[in-house]
Amino acid sequence: MEKIEATGISKSFGEVQAVRDLSFRVEEGTIYGILGVNGSGKTTTIRMLLNILTPDQGEILINGRPFDEELKNRIGYLPEERGLYRKMKVRDLLCYMGELKGLTSAQANKKASYWVERVGLSEWMDKKAEELSKGMQQKIQFVSALIHDPEIVILDEPFSGLDPINTVTLLEVMEEVKKRGAAVLFSTHILEHAEKLVDKLTFIRQGQNVLTGTMGEVKGRFAATLFRIRIDGEGSLLSSLPKVLKVQAFGHEYEVETEGDTEPTEFLKNLLTAGLRVEKFEKVEPSLTNIYMKVMRGEDGKN
């Protein structure tokens, strides 16, 4: 079932068009990524989904209908702008957020206890928010978006400013929320996180959709085959080998991009024929970062 459906949405602010003719669909039990550099229109898109901003044109359906007040308690939202009631204790803060979303006091207290334990902050339950580190505060705000078990979770740059340990916790929780059937949509410019999470994604550039699909579909659009090698010899020879498109040096290793129909045995034979001693040889999958750089340069891959 489609939980979010955006069709041809656009939004301008004066002379600036922030989002232009953007369409995507998010189904239940999936994680959907909206990816783009800062200023590409991600936050504007999310604010339109939540009815904070009204599209100039296009249509947004949540659970198959236009946004209404009843839908608010079915959605969990983590905004890009972080902020907590600094003088409130963590328990009181989370219970307050839960009750705003329709939980009873007892339900909110039970959920608060569960979630702070899940993110490793049980010992901070009776501390004021201002006593927590920035990373802890961000986890508490993340928890506040989930406390009422929403069926739709919308997260705007959820990993911004987090250290690696806290990032792993959020990645795990997002997977758990997906497994219980929620639809999760998040925006990010940190592509390695999206690569670990998403079932489907949309790249946007200057508010426009430039690439959409599952991870497999996105990677399948790009015909180049990548090899990572380490050789005992002159690396400058690599560029002259048959079917080689691009060579990047990483210390004593090289990442070589070749034409899409290049077989590993064929490329290895070319290396040996050129007189190069091969110490390491592996075929690697193009990373989402590599694909995104190509898309931003206008290389859209094969159709």
Cβ contacts of 66 within 8 Å, gap of 6 or more: 59, 60
Place of tokens 């996105």: 218
- DSSP-based three-state secondary structure for 201: strand
Write down the pTM of the prediction.
0.84
- 293 found inside a domain: no
Whether residue 6 is found in the same domain as residue 141 = yes
Q: Which residue has the higher pLDDT, 37 or 268?
A: 268
Is residue 47 pLDDT above 90, yes or no? yes
Amino acid 201: pLDDT: 94
Distance (Å, whole) CA 106 – CA 99: 9
What phi, psi does 73 have (nearest 5°)?
-75, -5
- 273 found inside a domain: yes
On average, the pLDDT of the chain sits at 91
Q: How confident is the model at residue 281 (pLDDT cuts 50, 70, 90)?
A: very high
What mean pLDDT comes out for the span 152-176?
91
Whether residue 168 is found in the same domain as residue 254 = no
List, edge to edge, every strand of the sheet that includes 31-35: 75-78, 152-156, 183-188, 31-35, 200-205, 208-214
List, edge to edge, every strand of the sheet that includes 2-13: 16-27, 2-13, 57-62
Structural domains counted in the chain: 2
Longest dimension (CA), the chain: 74
- 253 found inside a domain: yes
Whether residue 42 is found in the same domain as residue 154 = yes
Question: CB–CB of 204/35 below 8 Å?
Answer: yes
Domain boundary among the residues 183, 214, 245 is at 214
Domain boundary among the residues 154, 180, 214 is at 214
Amino acid 260: pLDDT: 80
Amino acid 223: pLDDT: 60
Q: How confident is the model at residue 58 (pLDDT cuts 50, 70, 90)?
A: very high
Q: In the numeric block, which tokens belong to residue 275?
A: 């007189």
- Amino acid letter for position 6: A
Whether residue 166 is found in the same domain as residue 80 = yes
Q: Which residue has the higher pLDDT, 55 or 286?
A: 55
- 23 found inside a domain: yes
Distance (Å, whole) CA 112 – CA 94: 6
- 300 found inside a domain: no
Q: In the numeric block, which tokens belong to residue 296?
A: 């931003």
Place of tokens 């899409």: 260
Q: In the numeric block, which tokens belong to residue 39?
A: 């200023």
- 164 found inside a domain: yes
Whether residue 135 is found in the same domain as residue 106 = yes
Whether residue 166 is found in the same domain as residue 241 = no
Whether residue 106 is found in the same domain as residue 24 = yes
Distance (Å, whole) CA 288 – CA 148: 33
CA angle 5, 302, 183 (to 5 degrees): 25
What mean pLDDT comes out for the span 199-222?
89
The enclosing domain of 257 has a CATH number of 3.30.70.100
137-157 confidence digits (pLDDT tens): 889 999 999 999 999 999 999
Q: How confident is the model at residue 302 (pLDDT cuts 50, 70, 90)?
A: low
Q: How confident is the model at residue 233 (pLDDT cuts 50, 70, 90)?
A: confident
Highest mean pLDDT: which range of 22-26, 86-90, 130-134, 250-254: 22-26
What mean pLDDT comes out for the span 161-169?
88
Whether residue 29 is found in the same domain as residue 103 = yes
Q: Tell me the HSE value of 165 on the side-chain side, using a 13 A CA sphere.
A: 4
Whether residue 124 is found in the same domain as residue 271 = no
Question: CB–CB of 240/270 below 8 Å?
Answer: no
Is residue 303 pLDDT above 80, yes or no? no
Q: Which residue has the higher pLDDT, 260 or 131?
A: 131
245-259 confidence digits (pLDDT tens): 989 998 889 999 998
- DSSP-based three-state secondary structure for 125: coil
Under DSSP, the state recorded for 276 is: P
- 153 found inside a domain: yes
Cβ contacts of 32 within 8 Å, gap of 6 or more: 4, 24, 26, 183, 184, 185, 186, 198, 199, 200, 201, 202
Whether residue 37 is found in the same domain as residue 137 = yes
What phi, psi does 181 have (nearest 5°)?
105, 0
**H helices present in the chain, as ranges:** 42-49, 90-100, 105-118, 134-146, 164-179, 191-197, 215-220, 264-273, 288-296
- 290 found inside a domain: no
The enclosing domain of 35 has a CATH number of 3.40.50.300
Whether residue 191 is found in the same domain as residue 241 = no
Whether residue 96 is found in the same domain as residue 230 = no
Domain range holding 249? 223-285
Under DSSP, the state recorded for 235 is: G
